């Protein structure tokens, strides 16, 4: 879904409905941690937290795009430097149903935040010049 969703409104509503189930927990997490929180970035079903400078830190839940409606939670830290783009990423949960994600969501979010916050500029790797 890198290029976004191109179906009907009904199909879109069906795709994002599972994420809406998580929204109260996600919104509280954003508020408590003072994080920017976005929904459905790039017209794809996802939830995303973003903060930091010069290292940008991201926690994201997104659809795997599979027919059985599976979800991934990952973290990423990025930084643009004069010699290129640096990053580090880690997937905390993948191919999970929304119910599996919901059961451990608070623990996953806390672990994700701790992990991505622990990374320094020196932990990032050059990926593109």
What local confidence, expressed as pLDDT, does residue 96 receive?
95
The closest alpha carbon to 71, from 99, 97, 108, belongs to 97
Q: Mean pLDDT across the stretch 32-50?
A: 94
pLDDT above 80 (res 124): yes
* H helix or E strand, kind and range, residue 118: helix 105-118
Find the angle CA(43)-CA(74)-CA(85) to the nearest 5 degrees. 80
What local confidence, expressed as pLDDT, does residue 69 receive?
85
How many CB atoms within 10 Å of residue 44? Answer: 16
Top mean pLDDT of 1-10, 17-26, 65-74 is at 17-26
Do residues 37 and 49 lie in contact, with contact meaning Cβ atoms separated by under 8 Å? yes
Q: Mean pLDDT across the stretch 71-84?
A: 96
What local confidence, expressed as pLDDT, does residue 1 receive?
43
């Amino acid at each position: 879904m890198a290029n976004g969703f191109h179906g009907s409104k009904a199909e879109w509503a069906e795709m994002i409905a599972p994420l809406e189930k998580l929204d109260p927990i996600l919104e509280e997490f954003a508020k408590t941690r003072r994080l920017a929180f976005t929904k459905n970035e790039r017209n794809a079903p996802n939830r995303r937290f973003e903060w930091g400078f010069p290292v940008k830190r991201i926690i994201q839940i997104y659809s795997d795009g599979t027919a059985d409606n599976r979800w991934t939670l990952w973290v990423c830290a990025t930084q643009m430097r004069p010699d290129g783009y640096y990053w580090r990423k880690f997937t905390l949960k993948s191919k999970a149903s929304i119910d599996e994600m919901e059961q451990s969501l608070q623990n996953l979010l806390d672990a994700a935040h701790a992990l991505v916050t622990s990374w320094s500029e020196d932990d990032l790797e050059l990926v593109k010049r």
